[in-house]
């Protein structure tokens, strides 16, 4: 980890790497692992960490007003997006993620 980057997002991680980290974090905190590495399926009955489903991700992106983030016709400027390119990643927690206050 680069010095001074401990509160910055992790970039360049594959979906498989993120799933593996969810299981690792679950194990470290004494929770049940949700991901089965033999087929990469998630057991939603387990209490461990997991990535959000596509539907959960979309609901979080829409926010409480249920607006469509893709079709809202508001341009996304570099100043209000964490693009993670060219070293332009931003400190985590600078902005509210949505009206749900996701972090």
**pLDDT tens by residue, 38-97:** 999 999 999 999 999 988 888 877 776 666 655 555 665 555 555 555 555 556 665 555
Name the residue with higher pLDDT: 36 or 58.
36
Distance CA 4, CA 78 (A): 22
**70 is written with which tokens?**
């893709």
Predicted TM-score (pTM) above 0.85? no
Burial of 34 (0-12, 13-18, 19+ CB in 10 A): buried
Give the rounded distance of the alpha carbon of 95 from its chain centre.
14
Domain residue spans in the chain?
A: 15-72
**pLDDT tens by residue, 88-102:** 555 666 555 555 555
Distance CA 20, CA 49 (A): 10
């Amino acid at each position: 980890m680069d010095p001074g980057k401990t509160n910055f997002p992790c970039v360049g991680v594959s979906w498989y790497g993120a799933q593996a980290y969810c299981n690792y974090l679950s194990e470290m905190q004494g929770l049940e692992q949700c991901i089965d590495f033999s087929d990469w399926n998630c057991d939603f009955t387990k209490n461990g960490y997991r990535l959000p489903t596509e539907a959960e991700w979309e609901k979080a992106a829409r926010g409480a007003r249920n607006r469509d983030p893709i079709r809202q016709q508001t341009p996304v400027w570099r100043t209000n997006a964490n693009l993670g390119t060219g070293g332009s990643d931003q400190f985590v927690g600078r902005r509210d993620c949505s009206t749900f206050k996701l972090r």
